[in-house]
Chain A
């Protein structure tokens, strides 16, 4: 069930009404209801894979319990290892089996040996990377004694499968989300209104920004040899907005839907294209994943402790693993490598933690320096997206070859209206940069004006929506 469909428009109000009117008395029944609708939500894609979520939940619940019962270091390590093997084993099998088999075959072919090809036809379960990381965070945090294991099996299962963020995040930490399942939730008017605003904003980002960009992107990336360098550049530019609108739109709808049910999910995007360097970009883009890698990969590796060489190694490992997390393709690994490479100067100059504040907070217009910094960061990110979008590495290089040709200086054959619209959108993001989201417009005192803005956005969703495209991050 996609968020941008009539099905969800029917599903969500029914869940909301039953949740607050029928199941509100007992927290246990409310959680059981959430668990049931979450499994139903997932089953709408493919019920066959429900078993995988169930298996992950059972294993991590039992591992968490067993961890609480023992203080023996080796036993605790073995339990953690069990959870890692089961979760990453499932993820590895479904997501990376073909990738590794094909890569091995290619390596053997290089040495003149031919291996027989695999005949397994493996389908990738939707959202497997997201819920696997979420449930792993629980086991690791229990192992590290950062949280106490839950004894409430329903809460735990509902935490793993919570439908708003089940298939594409935000990847929640057990320390944030699990306690919310364990305590009574009360209806909060302001929270619900904000949730609705986020849903509208998310639909706008997905259906108007992402889906319209997708039309141009699909055309340009499919027929890239036919287009000029300047058009190819705009192809990458549009993809930057497609993936942003698509993924941040999904996150907004997820956070908004959760808010309607009384839950607070973590912010996943914070105007990433206004970042002034790559360090800031990664504090603003897919925040739940980058902090996950920070806490469970980067810091255990040693983080920035030790020599600069080790620090750089850790950065490269995190970005390469992050690339691989996105998909079983060398394009994603190279995408991660490019980000690591451009991160390097920040590490060497100790500027990776710079820009933690809001840009030019007291000013309405950005300075020339800020514009330059934002544009440069956006340019790196956009060019790196070419690898992310390309079918394979060869296509990505050919795309770049076409882009950086003489025709780069020709007039691009793209929709000027779309370019203008995206620039205007970014101006609004700049003006709202100190807010949690673009539609946080409580500062507008006139209620009719606020309502008019909501109607304008709803109208745009209905009238300017592009052809429906699947959410990009579902494939991860």
Chain B
């Protein structure tokens, strides 16, 4: 028995070493989670807060907003985390006037704990100091970030850090500043098909996430904050490839939310003609130019409201 335990220990030693290095890497190198957490904690005079997933992360640039704004959205950030972030920070933002929340194709039907992004919840807990009810105390992954992701992903993240010297992909306003290019029409068409396939979750059950949006609106209402529900722009071909019934239902839910809540304004930019193909990085994400356009539209609406 002693022999076996010794051999197992020796065999596991290099593996444990790699695990420890990965853990140190995740715990010490700043990334979007740690950076945004640090930034938002310092934003006392904030007037506009942007939440949402990659569509707002890359698509709403606070630099083009007249009021003091911060973009707290993140890649694959679901309404579940939007709500937790709002609940965590709202009391520290006494001057907050507007909350911008993105509602896109997957926002309302998004299930919790999906395979692809299941690891992110541990980062929200560990690096954004969120109390995430989805994580149980006996979940080993809540104690080690290195085991939340597969090793190849960790290695790729390390290579990204080695190449870019940083893992932070947003500016000091929280805007995702790495989408700077565009693609031609042929490539855009291919991307539209790929992304549409990826986004089709075949769920029309909006109850859980609609409820969360409503809870966020109610919380804002208590604090006198107005909510802007934004349907972010997307390439027309991508939109057409998705379930039209679902789009209609999303449209009707958003309308209903606007009708039912005095503090809500809906901004539907999904098929806005001002956006051209070269405003997009890919089928459903704006690039820097598109983000400027989108932010200026939102800014105009905010100005009108202020007037």
Interchain CB contact (< 8 A) of B15 among A20, A223, A458 = A458
Interchain CB contact (< 8 A) of A465 among B11, B150, B155 = B150
Interface-located stretch among B1-9, B99-107, B237-245: B1-9
The answer to whether A468 and B115 have CB atoms under 8 Å apart is yes
Q: Which of A98-137 contact B (CB under 8 A)?
A: none
The interface residues of chain A lying within 8 Å CB-to-CB of B155 are 463
B167: min CB distance to chain A, Å: 20
Interchain CB contact (< 8 A) of B140 among A7, A192, A223 = A7
The answer to whether B152 and A192 have CB atoms under 8 Å apart is no
Q: Given A223-B197, A467-B116: A462 and B150 within 8 A (CB)?
A: yes
In angstroms, Cα B150 to Cα A458, docked, is 13
| Nearest opposing residue in chain B for A21, CB measure | B1
| Nearest opposing residue in chain A for B2, CB measure | A189
B-side interface mostly: helix
The answer to whether A6 and B140 have CB atoms under 8 Å apart is yes
| Nearest opposing residue in chain B for A223, CB measure | B197
The interface residues of chain B lying within 8 Å CB-to-CB of A7 are 140
The answer to whether B11 and A192 have CB atoms under 8 Å apart is no
Q: Which of A15-48 contact B (CB under 8 A)?
A: 20
Is B147 positioned at the interface, with any CB of A under 8 Å from its CB?
A: yes
The answer to whether B151 and A187 have CB atoms under 8 Å apart is no
Is B125 positioned at the interface, with any CB of A under 8 Å from its CB?
A: no
Is B141 positioned at the interface, with any CB of A under 8 Å from its CB?
A: yes
Is A342 positioned at the interface, with any CB of B under 8 Å from its CB?
A: no
Is A464 positioned at the interface, with any CB of B under 8 Å from its CB?
A: yes
The answer to whether B1 and A187 have CB atoms under 8 Å apart is yes
Interchain CB contact (< 8 A) of B11 among A187, A223, A454, A467 = A454
| Nearest opposing residue in chain A for B15, CB measure | A458
In angstroms, Cα B141 to Cα A465, docked, is 18
| Nearest opposing residue in chain B for A193, CB measure | B4
The answer to whether A192 and B4 have CB atoms under 8 Å apart is yes
| Nearest opposing residue in chain A for B118, CB measure | A468
The interface residues of chain B lying within 8 Å CB-to-CB of A192 are 4
The interface residues of chain B lying within 8 Å CB-to-CB of A6 are 140-141, 147
Interchain CB contact (< 8 A) of A10 among B11, B14, B140, B150 = B140
| Nearest opposing residue in chain A for B14, CB measure | A455
The interface residues of chain A lying within 8 Å CB-to-CB of B152 are 462-465
Is A74 positioned at the interface, with any CB of B under 8 Å from its CB?
A: no
A-binding residues in B (CB < 8 A): 1, 3-4, 8, 11, 14-15, 115-116, 140-141, 147, 150-152, 155, 197
- Please list the 3 inter-chain residue pairs (A to B) with the smallest Cβ-Cβ separation, ordered nearest first: A462-B151, A6-B140, A463-B152
